[in-house]
Amino acid sequence: MGRLALVTGGTRGIGRAISTSLKSAGYRVVANYGGNDDAARTFTAETGIPAVKWDISDFAATDAALKAISAEHGPIDIVINNAGITRDAPLHKMSPEMWNDVIRINLTSCFNTARLVIDSMRERGFGRIVNIGSINGQAGQYGQANYAASKSGIHGFTKALAQEGAARGVTVNAIAPGYVDTDMVRSVPAPVLEKIVARIPAGRLGRAEDIARAVMFLVSDDADFITGSTISVNGGQHM
């Protein structure tokens, strides 16, 4: 039986590419989502991957969901912490809600899943946790103090947790995507997006599959001595 992977925010965008790549490679996959039920049903019909709705930033809800998933499918071997949001504004216009929502959904969610799987992974001597960070967590971005802090936090969380899992076969890594062509980036105004693409040495936005391929490597046995690393997947845009 293939290893069991949970992909948070796994029904669309980068998460969808990760879920379907894992399934194609023989992993068993469960996708979490937080939004549209019709879209999630279509995703399951198209991919054969079960989709389970809960708010990943809520520890108790995540605990209940992970218990139900494990009861049905067995222990979780792989967690891809992909769910994320933006709520952009310069700081002088950023409300406490905008700050808290982004930190909760992007960063606290990584604590929630990792905290709930770490004991089982350490006991079984195998685990893979891949956290999706961001170029904007490495370099910062105007209007994204909340988002940059959450993603920078993910990169630090990754390094710290890697040290706790390394001797027990649990690797923890991050990927820092550059700008990727998904709904998140399509909401950027066209003139701003043109300027962004002009700064990407590869001359194009990333594709969700570019990120999924890096995830596939990190979860594979080929990567079992790689932990605490952040892999930048950004077409050469090292800001």
Tell me if residue 27 falls in helix, strand or coil: coil
By CB under 6 A, tell whether 183 contacts ligand NAD: yes
Given a contact cutoff of 8 angstroms between Cβ atoms, the answer to whether 9 and 83 are in contact is: yes
Q: How far is the CB of 82 from ligand NAD (least distance, A)?
A: 5
Cα 234 from Cα 202, distance rounded (Å): 8
Which CB atom, from 32 or from 173, has the smaller least distance to ligand NAD?
Answer: 32
* Terminal CA-CA length for the chain: 42
Shortest spacing between CB 42 and ligand NAD, in angstroms:
13
* Contact flag: residue 85 with ligand NAD (CB under 6 A): yes
Element (DSSP H or E) covering residue 170: strand 170-177
Kindly tell me which of 20 and 82 has the beta carbon lying closer to ligand NAD.
82
Give catalytic status of residue 147 as yes or no: yes
> Applying CB under 6 A, does 32 fall inside the site for ligand NAD?
yes
* Residue 22 C-beta: closest distance to ligand NAD, Å: 15
Using the contact rule CB under 6 A, the part of the chain among 41-49, 156-164, 165-173, 179-187 near ligand NAD is 179-187
Q: Which of 55, 63, 88, 209 binds ligand NAD (CB under 6 A)?
A: 55
Three-state SS string across 177-188, please? Answer: ECCECCHHHHCC
Min CB(135)–ligand NAD separation in Å: 6
Q: Is 235 in the site for ligand NAD (CB under 6 A)?
A: no
134 binds ligand NAD (CB under 6 A): yes
Q: Compute the distance between CA of residue 110 and CA of residue 102 in angstroms, rounded to an integer.
A: 12
CA angle, 62 then 65 then 148, to 5°: 30
- Active-site residue among 27, 33, 147, 179? 147
Number of residues that bind ligand NAD (CB under 6 A): 28
Nearer Cβ to ligand NAD (89/166): 89
Q: CA-based diameter of the chain, in Å?
A: 52
Q: Which is nearer to ligand NAD, 9 or 127 (CB)?
A: 9
Q: What is the DSSP letter of 61?
A: H
34 Cβ contact list (under 8 Å, min separation 6) = 9, 53, 54, 55, 56, 83, 105
- List the one residue out of 28, 33, 38 whose CA is nearest residue 12: 33
Q: Give the residue numbers marked as catalytic.
A: 147
Contact residues toward ligand NAD (CB under 6 A) are: 8-9, 11-15, 32-35, 55-57, 82-85, 105, 132, 134, 177, 179-180, 182-185
